Structure 1
Amino acid sequence: MPRLPAQPLKSVLLNTAQIELWPADTLRVRSNADARVLAGAHTVLRRKADGRYLAAVSARGVHPLVTGLPREPGLDEAWDALERFEAAARGFDADTQGLLPLHALQERLHALGLDDAYGTRTGLALVAEPASLAFAGRDRYRRPLWLTRSAARGWQALRAAAARDGIVLEAISGYRSHDYQLGIFERKLERGQTVEQILTVNAAPGYSEHHSGRALDIGTPGEPPAEESFERTPAFAWLTLHAGGFGFVMSYPRDNPHGIVYEPWHWYYLGHDSGGDR
């Protein structure tokens, strides 16, 4: 078990290959039992593969939420991440804590029958997940929005500037894990679809910009999410004129070289320095 941190996570999500460590006050309570435990907790360990809450950490100790917690895969890595956060709490920077390795993802892709030919054909590279993310507010559905620290600052500045011009921007989604996308594939395969059929509507796991914590799907009230009709809104017109000044670019215009459908709602934070780290 870890040495308990002197400071709670507050606005930081710590990310490991198999487990995420969330600030407890950003999570939805799923049962009365959860409510009792989470009420006094500052950190919750969440399994990435299925979203299951594994343990709650409070000033009094670690409270298991599953049986067999000590045998949970990836637990030691999660405790290590929490201890590193405690050691660096005062100078913690969510953009400088590195990226998670890709080897486990590559093994799972090969098991699905996805090889390097996909990246070669599309011109897309595998995208590593950040080891930590910053709380960037809530999305349209009141879910926590996680981005890298610099992308979170960029989004908040972009949204505030739009509001001053009478434009309301909503986040539809931000960071998504490899596990999230892999789960989509695995469920569709179980229903009898082929990999080729799934790839016509879903990006291959690991190749989405959302894994980076620097991509946002953006909407506006009254407009359905992730629809081409977004391009006819005042919000899109405003983004076209102003987003670049805040470090954001539209990743997939019409006839883009990756063969991805036109996505006027999808924007990526390059930043204001040396062209970003895409």
Structure 2
Amino acid sequence: MAFTPTAQFLTGQDSSSMQWIDQHHQLHQQVVPAYQRLVSAMAADGIRLKVVSSWRSFERQARIWQAKCEGRRPVYNALQQALNITQLTGLAKLEAIMLYSALPGASRHHWGTELDVYDAAAVTADYEPQLAPAEYAQGGPFHQLSCWLQEHAAQYDFFLPYQHYQGGVAAEPWHISYKPLAKECQAAFSLPMLQRILQTTPIAEQEQVLLHLPQLFERYITNIYHE
């Protein structure tokens, strides 16, 4: 039966379609077979794919968002320099956070189609990936993984929505997306739907978010790299 993305699903408030892929991570059930094929293909080339983040609920995203708004989690600029977020206000504050973190209700991770990944074979068992661009650049431990994804991800129906910086979200070479389902979710996602959710669900900086939402929606939510 065809899957129809609802507003509850798209904004991370319905996990009924998710399936566990390990002890800590879930993906949409339609994504799991493709993910397993991807893992096997990478293993054949010496890459041990590990997941840092996959499906994420609205509540989880809201906690991340609030911690960043309050300065309890680091916020970085494009040069990977830590910002004092408490010195910023209004749109400038929102844009600083959204360079690397999505609004609650607007994260692609709500769909179960997205994965933040690294290569466990390239580092020691106690290594904690930072999801920093330098790790995936030439000379970094995950450069081989990054090159592999550039060359082969499409064969397994995955792509990198933040492959290049396009004036919104920073380049994220660790973020892959299952294209067939993510494309459906993107098409079903709308500004009015997100406005309704955020008007009725308290989040940090709610008033400023709603004031600037049309601009944020265009720059950070629909502005992805299309292969």
TM-score (norm 2): 0.58
Give secondary structure in 2 for the equivalent of 1:216.
strand
Give secondary structure in 2 for the equivalent of 1:200.
helix
Contact 1:171 1:217 in 2 (8 A): yes
In the alignment, the residues of structure 2 paired with residue 269 and residue 165 of structure 1 have an alpha-carbon distance, to the nearest angstrom, of 21
In the alignment, the residues of structure 1 paired with residue 182 and residue 105 of structure 2 have an alpha-carbon distance, to the nearest angstrom, of 25
5 Å matches for 1:1-278?
96=3, 98-101=5-8, 127-129=10-12, 130-138=14-22, 143-189=23-69, 193=86, 194=89, 196-197=92-93, 199-201=95-97, 202-221=101-120, 222=123, 224-228=129-133, 229-232=135-138, 233-257=143-167, 259-271=168-180, 276-278=184-186
**C-alpha spacing 1:137/1:131, structure 2 compared with 1 (3 Å):** closer
Q: Which has the higher contact order (CA 8 A, sep 6+)?
A: 2
Deviations 1:117-169 (A, max 9, x none): xxxxxxxxxx433542333422xxxx421111121221111011111122211
**C-alpha spacing 1:100/1:268, structure 2 compared with 1 (3 Å):** same
Tell me the equivalent position of 2:206.
none
In the alignment, the residues of structure 2 paired with residue 262 and residue 131 of structure 1 have an alpha-carbon distance, to the nearest angstrom, of 28
Contact 1:98 1:131 in 2 (8 A): no
Give secondary structure in 1 for the equivalent of 2:52.
strand
Give secondary structure in 1 for the equivalent of 2:61.
helix
Q: 1:197, CA displacement in angstroms?
A: 2.8
4+ residue stretches of structure 1 with deviation over 6 A?
none
Residue ranges of structure 2 left out of the alignment (5+ in a row): 72-84, 187-227
Contact 2:160 2:173 in 1 (8 A): yes
In the alignment, the residues of structure 1 paired with residue 185 and residue 155 of structure 2 have an alpha-carbon distance, to the nearest angstrom, of 17
Aligned length: 155
Sequence identity (%): 26
In the alignment, the residues of structure 2 paired with residue 96 and residue 262 of structure 1 have an alpha-carbon distance, to the nearest angstrom, of 30
Compare CA radii of gyration and give the structure with the larger one: 1
CA RMSD of aligned residues (A): 3.0
- Structure (1 or 2) with the greater helix fraction: 2
- Structure (1 or 2) with the greater strand fraction: 1
In the alignment, the residues of structure 2 paired with residue 170 and residue 213 of structure 1 have an alpha-carbon distance, to the nearest angstrom, of 16
Residue ranges of structure 1 left out of the alignment (5+ in a row): 1-92, 103-126
Give secondary structure in 2 for the equivalent of 1:184.
helix
In the alignment, the residues of structure 2 paired with residue 274 and residue 148 of structure 1 have an alpha-carbon distance, to the nearest angstrom, of 10
